Structure 1
Amino acid sequence: MTQLLRPDGLVQSPAFTHVAIVPPGATTIYIGGQNAVDGTGALVGGDDVAAQTRQVMANLKIALAAAGATVQDLVMMTILFVDGVDLNAAYPVAAADLAGAAPPVVGARVAGLGVPGALLEVSAVAAVRA
């Protein structure tokens, strides 16, 4: 349904696309920032960015499912990493959970996040047929 494009002239990455086109009539779903907290609000993973990434992705999937969507319906993701975090430890975990989905992505390093001890936060936009 949603078209994800990698236009010629832009870097060709298997990890993300540059453009998402959502067709008329689709329902747009906005997922607020997901940290590595469990259902009780406790931080999961401590200083282990891979463990935190697993929890963040699990939370993202729960939020998507609540709206009738999956990672295949993602049209945009924003990932905030605390400065100094090893991105190479986080990427394979996130990529495995995305199961081949490659929406446009914004990544940024930040000084800190709202949840003390959180190393990353993901927000997303998805679209499903209405």
Structure 2
Amino acid sequence: MTTTTLLRPEGLVNSPAFTHVAVVPPGATTIYIGGQNAVDGQGRLTGGDDAAAQTEQVMKNLRTALAAAGATVHDLVSVTIYLVEGVDITEAYPVAAAGLEGAAPTVQALVTAGLGVPGALLEVSAIAAVVR
């Protein structure tokens, strides 16, 4: 195996938005992206109480972090989304999906009472694998 393989096993729901299994080949470089929220490069929370606007910044931050490690969203194998309780995922989902540019890694969504950045409505952490 020379590339990461994403699997949608028969018998599990077949969604274009995510896959169920990611198999990373030996020798791949694994990249761990810590929680990205809607804080811009100057440390300001963007998007106010608009989940879609915050998601836009979150996805921008995720792409920036991946690029720093020589990766793109197409190298993602796992994404975890933390939503503050009460946030409507249907507001954030279309923006997050667009930010993934057609990539369909494994995805986990969790609801939490709050996040480390006051006012943040969501946060994303991720794992990518790059075969060089």
Partner of residue 26, structure 1: 28
1:73-112 mapped onto 2 (5 Å cutoff): 73-112=75-114
* Count of matched residue pairs: 130
Unmatched 5+ stretches in structure 2: none
Q: CA deviation at 1:52?
A: 0.2
TM-score after normalising by structure 1 = 0.98
Q: CA deviation at 1:111?
A: 0.5
Partner of residue 60, structure 2: 58
For the pair 1:5 / 2:7, whether they are aligned, the reply is yes
Q: 1:120 aligns with which of 119, 122, 125?
A: 122
Q: CA deviation at 1:87?
A: 0.7
Q: What is the Cα-based RMSD across aligned positions, in Å?
A: 0.6
Partner of residue 49, structure 1: 51
The amino acid across from 1:49 in the alignment is A
Unmatched 5+ stretches in structure 1: none
CA distance in 1 between partners of 2:25 and 2:124 (Å): 24
CA distance in 2 between partners of 1:20 and 1:99 (Å): 18
Deviation >3 Å, runs of 4+: none
Q: CA deviation at 1:12?
A: 1.3
CA distance in 1 between partners of 2:97 and 2:124 (Å): 13
CA distance in 2 between partners of 1:59 and 1:77 (Å): 14
Partner of residue 37, structure 2: 35
Q: Percent identity?
A: 75
CA distance in 1 between partners of 2:59 and 2:101 (Å): 11
TM-score after normalising by structure 2 = 0.97
Q: CA deviation at 1:109?
A: 0.6
The amino acid across from 1:119 in the alignment is L
